[in-house]
Amino acid sequence: MIINQETIVKDNDPKIREKSYPVNLPLSEEDKKLMEDLYTYVKESIDPEIAEEKNLRPAVGISAIQVGINKQMCAIVCSDIDKNGNEVNYEYCLVNPRIISSSVQQAFLSNGEGCLSVEEDHKGYVYRSARIKVKAYDALTNKEITIRAHGFLAIVLQHEIDHFSGTLYYDHISKNDPFQKIDDAIEI
């Protein structure tokens, strides 16, 4: 499957708001190929030369619904800084991820969020749980895993999992005060 800026489902298409469904395990050959294509998109999108050549918008994650397939599958490739100031890289090909616990404390990206399916900029803070625990099957390692995430990774996971219910990041932005500050929220 060719995934590029032309083939990604945009937010003006009602398909992006459709619910995604759990995937049967073990993965079918078709689902393995889909996951490989999603993962390849994210990996290649962060290389400026490949991104320009293939018309890819830089991304840290992509969900299957963004290519028009209603399956609970997403690929994530991102890095963050740990509590000791070291860079940590994360790569996941998640199938049926679900949040099993989340913190009351909120976090947000100071520059706001973006999405491959959203071409128009929506300014404002998107508040999400600062810490989450996710259970999923990871197609990269072929194992059931539990991810304890905080900071940027927690936000990326919640963003991608939101796609499974048809929710886009700007649905979380306050209409009355897009830059409203929440006490005790962590700014990332």
The catalytic residue positions are 160
Cα pseudo-dihedral 142, 162, 62, 148, rounded to 10: -50
Structure tokens that stand for 166 in this block: 């048809």
Kindly state the helix (H) or strand (E) to which residue 23 belongs, with its residue range: none
Beta pairing class for 143-150 and 186-187 = unpaired
Contact by Cβ (8 Å): 27, 38: no
CB 3 within 8 A of CB 41: yes
CB 113 within 8 A of CB 126: yes
